[in-house]
């Protein structure tokens, strides 16, 4: 979980595979303008990037292609806990997006890491960015 450029909450989940300096990532990211309303945008993306050599610290950056969707609400405003009952939502997508990622992790154990996952998606409907605090599990070094 983390913070979104839309104004409130971001979430992400990903699976990455590293071979040499190359990193393949399949990710899902979601952003919300408020807790229960406003604009909501998500993407599902396939990315390729480059990483530093696997070690105690992991840093990688990637770019790829995504499918973007969600809801846009022109009349919602920034209601903390949802709409006012008069809000009109317009469906977004599916559309193609240009996803970006930046991973920065501390890996104290060979199977466990903690860190930040930064993401963005540039698209014609509603571009967004976010940063989430994440846990890594798997063969990391």
Domain-wise residue ranges, the chain: 2-137
Tell me phi and psi for residue 81, to 5 degrees. Answer: -120, 45
* Peptide bond before residue 94 is cis, with ω within 30 degrees of 0: yes
- Model's pTM, two decimal places? 0.83
Question: Which one of 1.10.10, 3.30.420, 2.40.160, 2.40.37 gives the CATH number of domain 2-137?
Answer: 2.40.160
- 3 with 31: CB under 8 angstroms? no
74-128 pLDDT per residue, tens: 666 555 555 555 567 788 879 999 999 999 999 999 899 999 999 999 999 889 9
* Residue among 64, 66, 63, 72 nearest 6 (CA): 72
């Amino acid at each position: 979980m983390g913070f979104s450029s839309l104004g409130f909450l971001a979430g992400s989940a990903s699976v990455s595979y590293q071979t040499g300096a190359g990193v393949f990532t399949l990710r899902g990211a979601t952003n919300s303008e408020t807790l229960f309303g406003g604009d909501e945008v998500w993407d599902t993306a396939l990315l390729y990037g480059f990483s530093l050599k696997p070690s105690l610290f992991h840093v990688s950056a990637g770019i790829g292609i995504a499918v973007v969707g969600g809801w846009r609400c022109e009349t919602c405003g920034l209601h903390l806990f949802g709409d006012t009952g008069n809000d009109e939502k317009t469906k977004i997508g599916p559309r193609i997006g240009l996803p970006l990622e930046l991973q920065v992790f501390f890996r104290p154990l060979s199977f466990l890491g903690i860190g930040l996952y930064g993401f963005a998606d540039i698209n014609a409907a509603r571009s967004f960015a976010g940063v989430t605090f994440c846990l890594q599990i798997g063969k990391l070094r």
